[in-house]
Amino acid sequence: MLVTVILVAGLFSTTLANSLESRVEQLTELSYRSPVIKLDEEKYRSYIRTMPRNYSMVVMFTALSPNRQCKICKEAHSEFTTLAKSHRYSRSFDNRVFFSVVDYDGGATIFQRLKLTSAPVVLHFPASGKRRVEDKFDIERRGIAAEAVAKWVKERAEVVIEVIRPPNYTNAILLGVFLFAVSGTLLLKGNSLDFLYKWKYWAITSMFIMFAMTSGQMWLHIRGAPFAHVDRASGRTSFIHGGSNMMFVAESYIVAVVNGIICFGFILMADAPKDPNNPNSKYMAYGGLGLVVVFFSILLAIFRLKHRAYPYSLLF
């Protein structure tokens, strides 16, 4: 009897080992074909739900169909693919972690099983043990850039991935066009460049740069935030994010315009006393004051939307 139990246990262990080895070989072969493995219900059950596993799975749940109207999904999938390719084609590639994707149109039951109600979502399925809260990538706080996901993968799967992006010649072309335009201007109008010495041009240029930077343009460029958010249930479009750790591109435009109008109001108030004989000076001062009060109130209202505990307001 004891010999029979030992033989059955050994046969079962061998079967499990062969099954695990077979799954790893299949995943490795699939990753050679495409760094991001597309999962359906059957593959999800085989590669993720079946235990044991000696590998981790990083899965993006997304909705790429145009009918789903998920604007951020395409960009997030592109960054995710860049990360997967960087891992697949690196010299340190191993089979400890695999990257895969589940599209809603081909895996709605998987979304329902995991209780996912939005996309994109990136989850880490560890090699052993249950998923923890940290195994869900915080897109709102970290953004969708491949570098941010790579850092998170290092934390969860202990696999270091150096993100390698394909060469982008856009900046080089734009720089060449700019240098060509400047060179052409100097050649054609070398004797009439007095406008370069006028402080107003430099002041306006500096103000535009300041408005762009203080509105969060650099943060948006780094994080790859969406332009706005469309609620699928109500169809309502949100241009201002309700959290303090995230913002939309449209939100940065709104903040830049509001800051610009406030600045213009201060300029009107500062220039009004310069010519006391001008009958419009009084209207300029009152108009500037009105612009500052109204639009600073709007700025405070936007700040309160993002920081609910902020107690102060002006008009709104």
Predicted confidence (pLDDT) at residue 11 exceeds the cutoff of 50? no
- Percent share of the chain, pLDDT over 90: 30
The predicted pLDDT at position 85 comes to 92
**What are the percentages of helix, strand and coil residues in the chain, rounded to 5?**
60, 10, 30
Q: How many other CB atoms are found less than 10 A from the CB of residue 253?
A: 16
pTM of the model: 0.59
The predicted pLDDT at position 265 comes to 92
The predicted pLDDT at position 152 comes to 93
Question: Binning pLDDT at 50, 70 and 90, where does residue 192 land?
Answer: low
The predicted pLDDT at position 229 comes to 78
The predicted pLDDT at position 282 comes to 82
The predicted pLDDT at position 3 comes to 41
Look up residue 235 and give its two tokens: 């169809």
Close Cβ partners of 130 (under 8 Å, ≥ 6 residues apart)? none
CA angle 146, 61, 89 (to 5 degrees): 40
pLDDT, tens digit (0-9, with 9 covering 90-100), for 105-128: 988 999 999 999 888 999 999 988
pLDDT, tens digit (0-9, with 9 covering 90-100), for 220-247: 777 667 788 777 667 788 888 887 777 8
